[in-house]
Structure 1
Amino acid sequence: MKLEIKKFQELTSQELYDILQLRSEVFVVEQDCVYQDLDGKDKKALHIIGYKDDKVVAYTRIFRSGDYFHEASIGRVVVKPLERKFGYGVEIMKASIAAVENLFKETTIHLSAQCYLKNFYNSLGFKEVGAEYLEDGIPHIGMTRNK
């Protein structure tokens, strides 16, 4: 998988379309969750995009502290369903963590994790903080990683 990091303004219209299509495919259709994905925060984020054969197969967006949560954060973590067996989730998360540390010079990272993925995020150094909560009808938990 080839990775790129782009500001919102650097995304081509095709890249933006492909990212939004992937997010919709997973977060709306696969998870059967009606929610507003276009939340106005993409313009503040850096976008970590994973390509395979020039197609978007993995994605996250990262934020500096204060732009979304109090801490730096990673969100909209997604891998195309047919590509999950290749470990792209771990790869895109490691790239996202490195981007937060290297580009933002921050070592504390927060995310809002779907509860069924706690072990995945634990394996990347994230620990649960606070109680579980519902976000768009899906159980979530706050998780933080300190280097």
Structure 2
Amino acid sequence: MTSIRSATLDRLAPATLYRIVRLRTEVFVYEQGIVCEPELDGLDLEPTTMHYWAEEDGDVVATLRVLADGPVVHIGRVATAKRARGRGIAARLIETALDDFPQPIEIHAQAYLEDWYGRFGFERTGPNFLEAGIDHVPMRRSGR
């Protein structure tokens, strides 16, 4: 069974934080080859950053973070373990975050996921750009 959880860093168990960072490293560094930007960028430490993760049998299988430091929040670091893809787990994380943050939300989506994010009400706000050497598109979802 998959459990969806969320917490700020001060309420996150060290072992869970380790599993979140390990998953992000597996996906972004080893799988996607992102080495030009540090995975540990300091934003996880911000008191307004909310971490979301999905657990199965004590292991983190998907994660994202919400940077809630202003009137517009940002979703980022969306990652799902290979073995957990295609099961709707990341969608459940996104939906949970959207329920928690009704204000406008921005995301820098990998371009191939533009339609996927569109299902949640995100719309393109500008031209494609490279971030960490990967094609991205800026997107925004209006507040409720």
- Give the TM-score normalised by structure 1: 0.89
Deviation per residue, 1:92-134 (Å, 9 max, x gap): 1101111212xxxx2x110111101101101111000111111
CA distance in 2, matches of 1:113, 1:134: 11
Give 2:14's aligned residue. Answer: 13
CA distance in 2, matches of 1:57, 1:76: 13
CA distance in 2, matches of 1:10, 1:134: 34
1:134 is the counterpart of 2:130 = yes
Q: What's the % identity of the aligned pairs?
A: 33
Map 1:39-50 → 2, pairs under 5 A: 39-44=41-46, 45-50=49-54
Count of aligned positions: 139
Give 1:91's aligned residue. Answer: 92
Q: Secondary structure at the match of 2:85?
A: helix
CA distance in 2, matches of 1:56, 1:130: 33
- Aligned CA RMSD, in angstroms, stands at 1.2
Map 1:1-147 → 2, pairs under 5 A: 1-34=2-35, 35-44=37-46, 45-66=49-70, 71-101=72-102, 106=103, 108-146=104-142, 147=144
Q: Which amino acid aligns with 1:57?
A: V
Q: Which amino acid aligns with 2:9?
A: F
4+ runs deviating over 2 angstroms: none
Instruction: Provide structure 1 residue ranges, at least 5 long, that are not aligned to the other structure.
Output: none
Deviation per residue, 1:68-115 (Å, 9 max, x gap): xx61111111111110121111111101111212xxxx2x11011110
Q: Secondary structure at the match of 2:95?
A: helix
CA distance in 2, matches of 1:112, 1:3: 23
